[in-house]
Structure 1
Amino acid sequence: MRILIIEDNPDIVANLYEYFEPLGHQLDNARTGHAGLTRVAEQRFDVIVLDGMLPGLDGLEVCRRLREELHCKTPVLMLTARDTVNDKVTGLRAGADDYLVKPYSLIELEARLDALVRRATPSMADQVLRFGELEFDTGIFEVKRAGQRLEITPIGYKLLAALLRAAPRLVTREELEQEVWKDALPLSDALRSHIHTLRQALDKSFPASPPMLLTVPGIGYRLVDGDASQ
């Protein structure tokens, strides 16, 4: 799992890293609510662990902004010392998917995160990814833009799936390379070549439409719905 921890207590953060990293999970940490929102806007995570008592921008407001401003669908588990029913209801209504009261068991936290990620994973019957004019049926490997079927390479399918799941957020070069090649990364800049081929399929065949695959120089790539701003 790729886990984002939005927590300002260094002891809690260190404890989570010590527990989850040896299990093979990838962790990132933001110490403030604003930093957490920035991380989510720039990267893709499988689940977010969010402290409810952050200084400044608290966990409830962070959760609301994740859902309403970033349109982030990543599961959120809120950690807090507040344990009344009203507190839990408030957290869930702000957009949290689960709620765990401090102090908590790390084993229980791991089980809850596993369950959230499992529920967020599309079933075989619901694997159509959509964004703007793009539609990708991952069950039959069929991609369409504005109803027109596109020819995509095998690696292009993997890249497009990662971009669609994150859209309109940015996906870093490192994330895309990990998605395609796992730990066996190519020595050459193969990603640039495959992105070029994917862009040819997505955009070059539609010269009258705004491009959908954009490059953020030195960082990564993102999909945009050009027609939505018209």
Structure 2
Amino acid sequence: MYKILIIEDNPDIVANIYAFFEQKGFELDNAHNGYSGLALAANNRYDVILLDVMLPGMDGIKLCKELRENLHDKTPVLMLTARDTVLDKVAGFDSGADDYVVKPFSLVELEARIKALIRRYQDEHFQHSIEIGALTLNAAEHSIKRENTLVKLTPTGFKILQTLMSASPRVVSKTELEEKVWGQDIPSSDALRTHLHSIRAQVDKPFAKPMIMTIPGVGYQIIDPEH
């Protein structure tokens, strides 16, 4: 499940984004001015920020610079604006924005751009060594251990577990997990379930507490059972 922060003062645009994305399983927060938007961004974790340029209090350019330069926040930022000049786009990118759409925009295009930004961010920050509780994964060595016991998985199982661990504690939807592991060439509907069964047999079954959680109707999650 992706979490989006909308910083936009036009209530009609906010309502349209909510209506489109909530039905697709996205979780949304919104702020109507720059200062409250900055506070939400600083105190919560989001997968992407939709940021209007013309905002009350603090404009989107200043807000984005504050995020990047002072808060060192690397969350992907997609600028929303009515301005369409080259100079306006350059100003947005110079402030640290990752992408730019001009109003009025297609919600289908907005979704595609959001997903592309999130995929790019995840690929750039896909960790080589991950530790969640007693479970560790080392991508360079292609090794997995739980409580210092070596866990042996197939290459596909390894990638599924790596995806879940990289996203933890976020819940990863079935669709997102399949796209991350297989791209556009997704196999039969039972393939992911079969792989997860095998992964659980190695990662969870020999130990006292499970770490791989199924969230019905939402997706899958890796947790530290000791916290």
TM-score range relative to shorter protein: 0.5 to 0.7
Unaligned stretches of 5+ in structure 2?
A: 100-116
3-state SS of the aligned residue for 1:135?
Answer: strand
Q: For 1:172-217, what per-residue CA distance to the aligned partner results, in whole angstroms no more than 9, with x for missing partners?
A: 11111112222222234211111111111111121x3x21001112
Q: Which range moves more in the overlay, 114-123 or 164-173?
A: 114-123
Give 1:6's aligned residue. 6
Residues 1-230 of structure 1: pairs in structure 2 closer than 5 A: 4=4, 6-8=6-8, 9=10, 29-30=17-18, 39=26, 53=32, 58-67=36-45, 74=47, 78-81=51-54, 82-83=58-59, 91=67, 93=70, 96-97=73-74, 108=90, 112-113=97-98, 121-122=124-125, 127-206=128-207, 208=208, 210-228=209-227
Paired letter, 1:59: G
Return the TM-score normalized by structure 2: 0.62
**Secondary structure in 2 matching 1:183:** coil
Q: Which residue of the partner structure matches residue 46 of structure 1?
A: none
What displacement does 1:222 show? 0.4
Give the distance between the partners of 2:3 and 2:219, measured in 1 at CA. 20
Amino acid at match of 1:53: H
The root-mean-square deviation of aligned C-alpha atoms, in Å, is: 4.3
Identity level (%): 25
Contact 1:78 1:91 in 2 (8 A): no
The aligned residue for residue 19 of structure 1 is none
Indicate conservation of the 8 Å contact 1:170/1:220, yes or no.
yes
Corresponding residue SS for 1:204: coil
> What are the superposed Cα offsets for residues 71-93 of structure 1, whole Å, 9 maximum, x if unpaired?
x6x57575443259986676555
Alignment-mate amino acid for residue 205 of structure 2: K
Could you say if the C-alpha distance between residues 54 and 161 of structure 1 is closer, same or farther in structure 2, counting changes exceeding 3 Å? farther
How many residue pairs were aligned? 190
Partner SS state of residue 60, structure 1: helix
Answer whether contact 2:53 2:61 (CA < 8 A) is retained.
Answer: no
Q: Is the 8 A contact 2:6 2:50 kept in 1?
A: no
Change in CA separation of 1:84 and 1:217 when aligned onto 2, cut-off 3 Å: closer
Contact 1:171 1:222 in 2 (8 A): yes
SS in 1 for 2:42: helix
For residues 80 and 177 of structure 2, what CA distance do their matches in structure 1 show?
35
- Going from structure 1 to structure 2, the CA distance change for 1:85 and 1:192 (only over 3 Å counts) comes to closer
C-alpha distance in structure 2 between counterparts of 1:212 and 1:140, whole Å: 22
CA separation of 1:214 and 1:85: change in aligned 2, threshold 3 A: closer
Q: Cα offset for 1:95? A: 6.4
Note the C-alpha offset of 1:219: 2.1
Q: TM-score, normalised by structure 1?
A: 0.61
CA distance in 2, matches of 1:187, 1:176: 14
Conserved? CA contact 1:177–1:185, under 8 Å = yes
Unaligned 5+ runs, structure 1: 15-28, 42-49
Q: 1:224 to 1:118 in 2, by over 3 A?
A: closer
